[in-house]
Structures are given as structure tokens and as C-alpha cells.
Structure 1
Amino acid sequence: MNKQFVAIVIVVILGLFGVFYFTKDSAEAPANGDNNSSSSSSEGSNNTIGDNTKKVVLLEFGDFQCPACGAYHPIVKQVIEKYNKDILFQFKNFPLQQIHPNARAAARAAEAAGKQDKYWEMHDLLYEQQQTWEQSTAVNSIFESYAKQLNLDVAKFKTDFASETVNDVINADFSAGTKAGVNSTPTFFLQGKKLEEPPQDLEGFSKIID
């Protein structure tokens, strides 16, 4: 009887270890990027809008394919419009590839556009057209059409889109988010403090910013 009990305990322990290992692997998988990614030495993105001299910083970790991020986008735009002289807004990439397979490609598109000083234009376009590309199997072509729409050098856009430099930036953002406790999108930080229950409208953001 004692031997049976010991055997059961060993099986349970091994099972728990397996669950832990699988969960850890799943959580870390998006940070590794696609099959061509390398370990990132980048410091991550630095996409900001607003007054760089202000000490009030609102940071969003977002996923361009995330429906909740898409729903928050117009609210965030209202916040930026109202407080563009009072705060600095920053967006960092946190593509949840396991559930949003086109999220990393979208992040690549935004970062590639940023290399031609059109980051925010692409950022907005990706969210506004989210339903057009989110389930597409030809997102590269769609994003190239957005590059044309924004009058980008499409050849350069395609090169930057596919580059390890851009991929490393996204990986670094994801790593920073993971270290900061981000596990879903969108996740907001105000003055470095995570908003556990982020406001759901402009009025709510105003209450915590003012």
C-alpha cells in the first residue's frame, strides 16, 4: 500500500512539473518571434507622441490584432488629443501570436513605417482597418498597400518589414512587457504604475491624469 502511495505521489509531481513547463513555454513563445528571429540586443521601440518635456508618461503595451486594443484606440486618441501638451504617450509592441497570428506582422509594418517617419500614421491605420486584415492570409500585400497609401517608399518598407532590426525591436518590447508583468492587451502604465483596471472612456482617463 505504501509503495502504491509513493508511486501516485511521484506521478502527480511529474504531472505538475509537466504542466508548469508547458505553461512557461507557452507564455514565453511570442517573445521569440517568428522562425527567423534572433535574440534581441535592441532596447526596444521609442514611439512617442506628445510633449517630450513632460514628466507624465502614459504607456500602452498593445497588440494590433487584439479586438480590445482596437476598441481602446479611439479612446486613446481622445486622451492624446486632450492632453498632448501635458503628457507623453508611448506605445510598445506586445503581439500575442498564439491567439493573434497576424499581430507580429502588423507590428513589423508599424515599425517599418516608423523608419520613414510615418509610425503613428500606420499605427492608426492598422487599428482603423483591423477587421480588414485580422483574418487575412495575405497580410503582407495588405500592409504594402497601406505603405503606398501613406506615400512611403514601398521597396524600403518591404526591406525594413523583413529585417532582423525591426524584429529585434518587437522582441525587446515584448521582453520589457513580460518583465513589467504584462500578460494581456491592452495594458497601460501611468508614471510607471500598472493600471490594473484601466479606464474605459476619456472621462475615466481624465480622472487619473488631472
Structure 2
Amino acid sequence: MPINAGAAPAIVSNNIATKTTASFTPASSSLLVACISLEGARLISMSNSGTALTWTLRQEKTNVSGTEDGYASIFTAPAPSGASLTVTATLNAAEDGILKVYSFTGVDLANPVGQGGIGYNGTLLTYTPTLYTSSVPNSRAVGVATNYSGSSVTIGSGYTSHPYQIPSIVSGAAFYANADTPSPAPVSVTMSATASRWAWAAIELLPPVAAGFTGWGFPVK
């Protein structure tokens, strides 16, 4: 069963401490993936309406050194029931940026994330980082990029992207690969803007582990 993108709410862009999606209904046995792009680093807690889901921080690129601008992070939560809900990212202080939530079916909900990566580049206008090297066949890449300059951002071919721009402040995009990676290999993406200062985070979504061969049903002697 391939990994497929499902129902997802529109991107939420604001400059306050609470970013809440519109209501949406993921398919049953979905994995929710929350991509967050901010001008500056913040402590973030994730929540949702309805039955509380278990949110896990998977990757986070933050300005720990004081020299790498912008913030990007990814959280996930299994949503087995497929009930309608909203998702909220609560920051410890107001900040310009976005929340974009995706839902995916065909993911191993018990072990949904394999490899991942974070990075920063302060010199290139067109930047093609290796996000990670995939660990299993038929996994899927999801990521988020922040451009601290606030210039318009484009994500290269092979990805569905949801860009945003708060001019002269911050911009970026959430994105996912259009197809599963058929075998373990380096996974990359091209980001373009009219100014540099990139921060990004990405994760590998894992398919369920295939059941092993158990024989033809004959009794073992």
C-alpha cells in the first residue's frame, strides 16, 4: 500500500502566539504531520480539538548558536479514528510564521518516522540540501523550509509545496514528495528565493513493515 496524502486544512499564517487550523477530517489510520516555520525560535506545544492525540517533535532547526536565523520544526501524531478536528500550535511568545498540517495514509502508525534532518545555509539563493538518506523502500519525504529574508520561495519539481511570504520579515514553504522513494537513497529538494538565509527540517515517513512469509499452512513435522 503506497503512502498517500489525504485531507488537510489550509496553511495558517499570522504573527501571534496561537496558530490554529480550520476543521478537517483525515481518513482513519492517518498520520498527521505538522510543519512549523517561524521568523525566530519559540517553545511550541501542539494540541488538537476532540480526543487528544499524542504529538511528538520529530525534527527542529533552531537558532541555538545565535548566528543561524529562522526556525523550522515538524511534529507528528497518529489519528486512528478519522474524526474531524482542528490542530493548534501554541508558542511561548508571539511570532511571525505558519502552521501547515498534512495527513497521510499508508504510514506505519506504530513506527511512523525513520530518518530525518535539519540544516541551515546563509549564502545560496538556490539551495539543494540532502534532507536525509532514506532507510527503507517506499518511504516518503516531508519537510519545511524557512527563509529569514522574507523573499518569495519556490520548491523544486517532484514536490507538492505550500509556500508563504510575510514580505521583508519571513517566508518559506511546507512540502512533501509526490512519490515514495522506491529504494534507500539520498533524498534532496531544491529551494529558491531572491535572498539566502535558509533553515529547514525534514522527516522520512515509513510504510508498514511487510509481514514475513509464514508457510503454506501445512503442519510442521
Normalising by the smaller structure, the TM-score range is under 0.3
Higher strand share: 2
Q: Return the index of the structure with the highest Cα Rg.
A: 1
TM-score with structure 2 length normalisation?
0.25
TM-score with structure 1 length normalisation?
0.26
